[in-house]
Amino acid sequence: MPRTVDVGDAKAQFSKLIARAETGDDVMIVRDGVPVARIVPVVRPTSKIIALMRKERAQRLQVTAADIRASKEQGRA
C-alpha cells in the first residue's frame, strides 16, 4: 500500500519522496483526502544484450554433478 502524503507536505519533502521512490516505494499525493497524483519507481528496461544472454542461458542444457560423474566413468572404461 502506498504511503499517503498531503500536497503541502509533498512540496516540503519532495526530495525525500523521490528518494523513497528510488528504493521502490510508492507515494500517493492527496489533496483534502482525495488522491491526485502518485510518485512511483521507474522500472528500467533491460539492455538488449542482457535480455539476449538471459534468453540463451534459459535454452542451455543444465549439467548436473551426476552428469559430470557419469562422463568421468565413461572415460575410465
Domains and CATH numbers, the chain: 3-39 (3.40.1620.10)
- Rounded CA gap, 19 and 37, in Å? 17
Q: What is the pLDDT of residue 77?
A: 57
Q: Checking phi first, is residue 65 left (phi over 0); if not, alpha (psi -120 to 50) or beta? A: alpha
pLDDT tens per residue, range 36-50: 999 999 887 778 888
Residue 30 neighbours by CB distance under 10 Å: 15
The pTM of the full predicted model, rounded to 2 decimals, is: 0.55
